[in-house]
Amino acid sequence: MVIFNILLTPLITTVLLTFALNALSKNDPVYYSGERLVINSAINAGLVRQVQAAIELAKPPITDIQISSHGGDIDAAMDLGLIIFKHKLNVYVPHICISSCANYIFSAAQNKRLGQHAILAFHGGANQTSLKKSHLNQTYLETLITKEALFFNTIKVQRLITSIGQTQPYNIQGFWDYDLSSLLTLGVHSILIVDDSEKIIDSKNRGLQTAPFLITRITDLK
């Protein structure tokens, strides 16, 4: 009987977790929508665990991630990005994906769909000067910096994507974004611009986005 209980426990856990995930609604930070997993949340370790479980248990399999996020924990965002990269998932940003979301989630996707009016903004990564001057444990910071280098090497995107705006000749203090040709130069490819119904539109229709903070656009990187 003890052996039976030991064998049954993982099964019960899986069934309960599957039931809980399927019961999620649009009011939850993570929920299923067909073969798409929708995320409306800051990025943290708990979210990564939830997304990992959702991907592993989903039937039919998840093919797309739809995300709206103001960013979050750098470490967790890299973990989530690697999950997306490993499973070759597509990412759709209908509204906003900034900071860690832009750095590590959008950049890691197989194919990217960006809403015509969506905000995709960057403002530094693990190697930014402000973190080096912060009260963050420096040993942990060095671990993050090493992890970030490995992350971008894995997904074949230039690590400079997180920091170019803070260097010469830009010296941007806040947020920046890139035109599509510059994103391609940095290794972020397969980007389509879509309208509210997710119909593909001409990329020229993507303009500077209205946001409650200043966004500077970097263009024509070579």
- Classified by CATH at the fold level, domain 2-218 comes out as 2-enoyl-CoA Hydratase; Chain A, domain 1 (3.90.226)
In contact, 42 and 13? CB cutoff 8 Å = no
pLDDT at 3: 42
Residues 183, 69, 145, 152, CA torsion sign: negative
Kindly report the pTM of this predicted structure: 0.86
pLDDT at 12: 46
Instruction: Tell me how crowded residue 177 is: count the other CB atoms within 10 A of its CB.
Output: 22
Cis omega (within 30 of 0) on the bond before 94? Answer: no
User: In angstroms, what CA-CA distances link 73 with 21, 29, 48?
Assistant: 23, 16, 11
pLDDT at 206: 82
Calpha distance 93→75 (Å, rounded): 21
**Residues in Cβ contact with 173 at an 8 Å cutoff, skipping those fewer than 6 apart:** none
pLDDT-flagged residues of the chain (< 70) = 1-26, 132-135, 207-210
Q: Which of 177, 158, 159 is nearest to 219 (CA)?
A: 177
Q: Which of 162, 101, 96, 178 is nearest to 129 (CA)?
A: 162
In contact, 75 and 144? CB cutoff 8 Å = yes
**Residues in Cβ contact with 92 at an 8 Å cutoff, skipping those fewer than 6 apart:** 36, 64, 65, 66, 67, 112, 113, 114, 115, 194, 198
Calpha distance 74→195 (Å, rounded): 30
